Structure 1
Amino acid sequence: MSSRLSPFTVTDGPCSLRSRSFLSGPVTRCVSTGAVCAAKAESDVRASSCRVLSAAAAGREKLTHPGKAILAGGIAGGIEICITFPTEYVKTQLQLDEKANPPRFKGIGDCVKLTVQDHGFKGLYRGLSSLLYGSIPKSAVRFGMFEFLSNQAKDSTGRLDNTRSLLCGLGAGVAEAILVVCPMETIKVKFIHDQNSTIPRYRGFYHGVREIIRDQGLRGTYQGLTATVLKQGSNQAIRFFVMTSLRNWYKGTDPHREMNPLLTGVFGATAGAASVFGNTPLDVIKTRMQGLEAYRYKNTLDCAYQILRNEGPLAFYKGTVPRLGRVCLDVAIVFVIYEEVVKFLNRFWKT
């Protein structure tokens, strides 16, 4: 009997198969729809690849476009400063109230009482215009620079680790210090200090800026630059480090886990408190270097030495309590508004 069988044809459904059986086994090939089967196989491979890519994309944390960060940061900064400025005013007054001279204020309550008594409630908003004009670009630069740097620093899953967030925050703080904060803070401190004079010199924002520049040039708006860079750099490094650490802890392995505004506010307040205890001494030095009596100090180091010699180490923490209240509220509000504005922008600004 021959081991080789005659060829035969089987028709089953859309594909006609011609099969030959040999001792080595059957060989089958598609006669009428080979091209269709090949195309279907290729399509299946592509679909599988798309599913893999989609799964990878789903596991990535979404990046925030720097343009969105600039716009959202500016809006958040403007709203925040209008809410919290009185605490900034009190903090600055207490930092300017030196022990070397007879102190004018007994504490926070006394500062508020005397200010309202002498200048009315609007006296607590003296210098607001300089901060309002500056807070919008300050927050815009801060968040825009942070998102730009963090987008470069994130890993393949779109996650920013804690150490890199500190460096990104440092970069954002230095940028905002040079571009916005130093001139803005110098003008604000001079305005608040001027109010303590028997006859205030500055009649308003534009008049005050004009007088400062006329007397001291543009350099007059950059007093205490070194202290400001140190303060803002450490400020944002601490804040973004704490905020990112808390966010990473909360989200765990799910980068898309939603954070409600209340939780964002609590994390922001915690980050703000950490920055206050971390760099208030630099804030005191910066304030003195930008006051109307800044001429008494040769440089930032000399200012720190004189404060230590004349007033003791506790003087480096003057204004901590009002600053703590202001900064915790400030950072909480800014992060909440920022996150919500970004969510809103994502609805129609596709990047």
Structure 2
Amino acid sequence: MAAPQKGEVDQTKKSFMGMPGFVVDFLSMYRLPVEVQRRPSRSAKHALAALECEVARDKSRENFRDTRVGGVSAAVSKTAAAPIERVKLLIQNQDEMIRAGRLDRKYDGIGECFKRTVADEGMVSLWRGNTANVLRYFPTQALNFAFRDTYKTMFGYKKERDGYWWWMFGNLASGGAAGATSLLFVYSLDYARTRLANDAKNAKSGGDRQFNGLVDVYRKTLASDGIAGLYRGFMPSVTGIIVYRGLYFGLYDSIKPVVLVGSLEGNFLASFLLGWTVTTTAGVASYPLDTIRRRMMMTSGEAVKYKSSMDAASQIVAKEGVKSLFKGAGANILRGVAGAGVLSIYDQVQLLMFGKAFKGGS
């Protein structure tokens, strides 16, 4: 090889990563850095990974905002409806309270229950147990965000592709699985809320209460019944979720194409009334399961307990009649109206502030 002339660059010294000097010249001429030529896929992967991380961060921020603002919505609606909710629970569980000596006589309807509760315990007592009810929202929503994609993948049936019944099965299965998963973590808060709301001043001990707050419910229940005491009534709770979701989706999907047609299609009032009617119907139909689970909750710490949900149902019906399973259902319907009304107003405020409404959940 001829020696380079004066002023020329030795091509062998100019080589890079084993490439001849003229290849380096070619790449430089087209302004393509050798580093890019050497690692094109690596840079692309880094860029894609950075983009995916940014999308994930945006989604996480949006989920956090939805949970936070939705939590405010839930707190507002639950707090507004808390007095009706407590009356509903007192009427629903009054027989267990009388049996345990914590109520001297039955309530004579919703109005009389309100009057007696305020007279015996004060106005503020109508919100007893509401803190646990509000706190329950946040872990429930966090769990929903964590598990919803998994359950969607597991039960991802499409109505158009798989048919109505497979789609319905997917809704029931995913709803039941999500409900059971969430309940595993938050059921004890629902238990504590129920015990606090039904903790009327003891008729036999001069107005003493059984529990002195949320922490005291946990402490006394764990001491008397262990962990099992916090989960009494769990199975009818899961069954109730499946029944409620099945009726809700089934009724709404069947009635909507028949009712919301013509001038009613897209009508807000018509959609609201249909949704409220379907929700109320599903709620009343699944209400006996709610009664059974709460009556089972009330036996934690007591000497006599129900052996199972079937045993609870059979004993309640045998001693008190079928209608006892629906005690408090009227107050439950009123609670739904109050909650829906408050949320409707609050949604309008959210639309003005954020351009989006955040539902508070159940």
TM-score range, shorter chain: 0.5 to 0.7
Contact 2:89–2:328 at 8 Å: present in 1 too?
A: yes
1:1-351 correspondence to structure 2 within 5 Å: 67=63, 71=67, 74-98=71-95, 103-138=105-140, 141=143, 152-154=156-158, 164-165=167-168, 167-169=170-172, 171-180=174-183, 182-197=187-202, 198-245=207-254, 260=268, 262-292=269-299, 295-330=304-339, 344=355
Which has a greater percent of strand?
1
Partners of 2:152 and 2:271 lie apart in 1 by: 19
Contact 2:191–2:231 at 8 Å: present in 1 too?
A: yes
Partners of 2:82 and 2:165 lie apart in 1 by: 31
Shift of the 165–83 alpha-carbon distance from structure 1 to 2, 3 Å rule, reads farther
What CA deviation, in whole Å up to 9, does each residue of 1:7-45 have, x standing for no partner?
xxxxxxxxxxxxxxxxxxxxxxxxxxxxxxxxxxxxxxx
My pick for the range that moved more, 136-145 or 186-195, is 136-145
Shift of residue 318, structure 1, vs aligned partner: 1.1
Shift of residue 233, structure 1, vs aligned partner: 2.3
Contact 1:270–1:328 at 8 Å: present in 2 too?
A: no
Give 1:88's aligned amino acid: E
Partners of 2:72 and 2:247 lie apart in 1 by: 22
Q: SS of the residue aligned with 1:89?
A: helix
Contact 2:288–2:325 at 8 Å: present in 1 too?
A: yes
Partners of 1:279 and 1:333 lie apart in 2 by: 24
Shift of residue 125, structure 1, vs aligned partner: 0.8
Q: SS of the residue aligned with 1:194?
A: coil
Contact 1:74–1:136 at 8 Å: present in 2 too?
A: yes
Give 1:314's aligned amino acid: K
Shift of the 183–82 alpha-carbon distance from structure 1 to 2, 3 Å rule, reads same
Shift of residue 194, structure 1, vs aligned partner: 2.5
Q: SS of the residue aligned with 1:296?
A: coil
Shift of residue 207, structure 1, vs aligned partner: 3.3
Partners of 2:341 and 2:149 lie apart in 1 by: 18
Shift of the 323–345 alpha-carbon distance from structure 1 to 2, 3 Å rule, reads closer
Shift of residue 191, structure 1, vs aligned partner: 1.2
Contact 1:243–1:268 at 8 Å: present in 2 too?
A: yes
Shift of the 286–339 alpha-carbon distance from structure 1 to 2, 3 Å rule, reads farther
Partners of 2:172 and 2:72 lie apart in 1 by: 19
The runs of 5 or more residues in structure 2 that have no matched partner are 1-58, 358-362
Contact 2:299–2:305 at 8 Å: present in 1 too?
A: no
Contact 2:91–2:327 at 8 Å: present in 1 too?
A: yes
Partners of 2:66 and 2:147 lie apart in 1 by: 8
Alpha-carbon RMSD across the aligned residues, in angstroms, is 4.2
Partners of 1:334 and 1:154 lie apart in 2 by: 30
Residue matched to 2:8: none
What CA deviation, in whole Å up to 9, does each residue of 1:268-316 have, x standing for no partner?
3122211222111111111100114664211111111110111111111
Give 2:171's aligned amino acid: C
My pick for the range that moved more, 274-283 or 170-179, is 170-179
Contact 1:177–1:233 at 8 Å: present in 2 too?
A: no
Q: SS of the residue aligned with 2:95?
A: coil
Partners of 1:110 and 1:224 lie apart in 2 by: 28
Give 1:315's aligned amino acid: S
Shift of residue 161, structure 1, vs aligned partner: 5.5
Partners of 1:227 and 1:183 lie apart in 2 by: 15
Q: Structure 1-normalised TM-score?
A: 0.64
Give 2:85's aligned amino acid: E
Contact 1:87–1:323 at 8 Å: present in 2 too?
A: yes
Q: Structure 2-normalised TM-score?
A: 0.62
Residue matched to 2:7: none
Shift of the 86–287 alpha-carbon distance from structure 1 to 2, 3 Å rule, reads same
Shift of the 166–271 alpha-carbon distance from structure 1 to 2, 3 Å rule, reads farther
What CA deviation, in whole Å up to 9, does each residue of 1:323-350 have, x standing for no partner?
122235446766997899799459xxxx
